[in-house]
Structure 1
Amino acid sequence: MDYKHAISVRYSCRSYLPQELPASAVERLKASIAEYNLLSGLHIQLIQNSDEAFGKLSKSYGMFSGVRHYLAMVGRSNGIHEKEKIGYYGEKLVLEATEYGLGTCWVAGTYNKEACVCQLEPREELYCVIAIGIPAPKTSFKDKLIKGMIRTKKKSLEELYEKHGPVPDWFLQGIETVQAAPSAMNKQPVKFSYKEAGPEALPTAHGWIISNKYGMEQIDLGIAKLHFEIGAADAEWEWED
């Protein structure tokens, strides 16, 4: 899986063709979902052929069109690091779907949560969804407008990490990949730092949120951490506890 390529071509798709998902993509996505649920303890679900959450009476009316499929990002209520895991594994599925030729978009508030048909076990909750499907052949004016707004608001590399002296190339490559990460309202509320290797320890990176105003920042952190790992994949390092 070429995650770096997926990052370079991924965009927040809001207009879809009302068609079935390709069977091969569904099979591979379901296999990944099963693996990531086992690793994380999440309960991510692929919902197909259900447009109620994005219908005319939903909060998304006018924001999305043709959405019939989505990933329901379900986890334990008040679970430790649950939102961060939602972001990390959800974005991994987003990038995989991108490589399968599908469009995706993280959706936190502009959908009808009560109309989602996902299954919730006791003490579970639906944190957000990810729209997924075959992109409409022509990018809509709406998509172009939002994409243009996002492009002008991206933070600089220097705003995404703390400087305490020089940092290695692999760390900067991680930060460059973080810069391309999606986030709620494009706030990019994350920051990273670097710590040199010790006598018997690898160099470390640390990531954290710089605000918690909207309740989605921990999800953004999980997304950003995955991007950092992808960008810095060629080096030996580890996350700071």
Structure 2
Amino acid sequence: MIDSILKRKSIRTFDKQLLSEKDRNLVKEITARMKNDVGPFGNSVKWFVFDVEQYEKEKAVKLGTYGTVKNGQFFFGGIIKNTFEAMMDYGYLFEKIILELTHHNLGTLWIGGMFNRNALDEMILPGEIVPAISPVGYTSEYRSLRDRLTRTAIKGNQRKAFSTLFFDNDLDHPLDESKNLLPLAKYLKLVQVAPSASNKQPWRVVLNDNQADFYLERTPNYAKSLGFDIQAIDMGIALCHFCIGLDEDYVSYEITNNKATYIADSFQFIAGVLTK
């Protein structure tokens, strides 16, 4: 899955070719396989897949991605409790599906704000939400004008500097990617390339010996009208990438709520990853 992390891209322009029956079944198989998976904070997701044209016709509603996606025809998403911890689990588990689809050369896109959630209301119980959905399809050779403008506006190809995101023991000691020899630092590169809402990259990770503490540095006044914590989803994605790196190197670890580092209150502690 590390290869999928490094090659994954946000696809906003899809080929007009319909997703094959084989690939539709693949999406269904992956989401069905993950129906009993639980995220690191104890929450599971009720996954669903749908053909947009068929769904809109049957339900007499419009999903409406407001121009975010061109030629998006087949989607998957999930339903989960609307709590901070559940949003982190949603990010963690949803990203696992994204990466598996990437492994099979299928294009995807995290859509957390720009779709009509009301079109999915009949699926949802009180206290639940569909935080994000993704189209699944074949990448077009050409990007739409809206696609190009969006990537430029959010600086989609750029990532914050290693030394801005990652630290040794405290915020006074930023990590230098070119010089760092700490054993856990290699997995931080996987966090650095993770997708996030509007490419805000709100994660900060502080290493202390054999533990990596994940913190959230919130973007002030960002996405408050959404009705759920989208930056909690970002933290789940970051944690997912880090843990995939450990898994592929057969490193034993546990996710703990005990932190090994102590930094400014303006950073919200999320979890520690303690390696053994």
Please report the TM-score for the alignment, with normalisation by the length of structure 1. 0.82
Structure 2 contact 67–146 (Cα < 8 Å) conserved: no
Structure 1 contact 84–220 (Cα < 8 Å) conserved: yes
Aligned equivalent of 2:254: 238
SS of alignment partner, residue 108 of structure 1? coil
SS of alignment partner, residue 227 of structure 1? helix
Residues 130-182 of structure 1: per-residue CA shift (max 9 Å, x gap) = 22222223233443444452223x11112222322687544222111111100
Measured in 2, the distance between the counterparts of 1:115 and 1:19 equals 25
Measured in 1, the distance between the counterparts of 2:87 and 2:72 equals 24
**Bigger CA drift: 83-92 or 114-123?**
114-123
Letter in 2 for 1:228: F
Aligned equivalent of 2:6: 8
Question: CA 1:137–1:157 in structure 2 vs 1: closer, same or farther (change >3 Å)?
Answer: same
Aligned equivalent of 1:158: 163
User: Is 1:131 matched with 2:129?
Assistant: no
Identity of aligned residues (%): 24
RMSD: 2.8
Q: List runs of 5+ in structure 1 lacking aligned partners.
A: 197-202
Measured in 2, the distance between the counterparts of 1:206 and 1:22 equals 42
Question: CA 1:119–1:236 in structure 2 vs 1: closer, same or farther (change >3 Å)?
Answer: same
Measured in 2, the distance between the counterparts of 1:39 and 1:221 equals 18
Aligned equivalent of 2:66: 61
Structure 1 contact 204–237 (Cα < 8 Å) conserved: no
Letter in 2 for 1:114: N
SS of alignment partner, residue 90 of structure 2? helix
**Bigger CA drift: 168-177 or 111-120?**
111-120
Structure 2 contact 4–102 (Cα < 8 Å) conserved: yes
Residues 75-122 of structure 1: per-residue CA shift (max 9 Å, x gap) = 0233x6110111011111111111112111011111111123872245
Residues 17-73 of structure 1: per-residue CA shift (max 9 Å, x gap) = 344433333333333323322122211212224475xxxx76633332111221222
Measured in 2, the distance between the counterparts of 1:38 and 1:108 equals 23
Structure 1 contact 72–118 (Cα < 8 Å) conserved: no
**Bigger CA drift: 139-148 or 35-44?**
139-148
SS of alignment partner, residue 15 of structure 1? coil
User: Is 1:210 matched with 2:214?
Assistant: no
For 1:1-241, what aligned pairs fall within 5 Å after superposition? 3-40=1-38, 41-50=44-53, 52=56, 60-78=65-83, 81-116=85-120, 119-148=123-152, 149-152=155-158, 154-164=159-169, 168-196=181-209, 203-211=210-218, 213-214=222-223, 215-233=229-247, 234=249, 235-241=251-257
**Bigger CA drift: 143-152 or 218-227?**
143-152
SS of alignment partner, residue 231 of structure 1? helix
Question: CA 1:20–1:82 in structure 2 vs 1: closer, same or farther (change >3 Å)?
Answer: same
Measured in 2, the distance between the counterparts of 1:232 and 1:118 equals 39
Question: CA 1:26–1:12 in structure 2 vs 1: closer, same or farther (change >3 Å)?
Answer: same
Letter in 2 for 1:239: I
SS of alignment partner, residue 133 of structure 2? strand
Letter in 2 for 1:82: A
Q: List runs of 5+ in structure 2 lacking aligned partners.
A: 39-43, 57-61, 224-228, 258-276
Question: CA 1:21–1:169 in structure 2 vs 1: closer, same or farther (change >3 Å)?
Answer: farther
Measured in 1, the distance between the counterparts of 2:245 and 2:182 equals 10
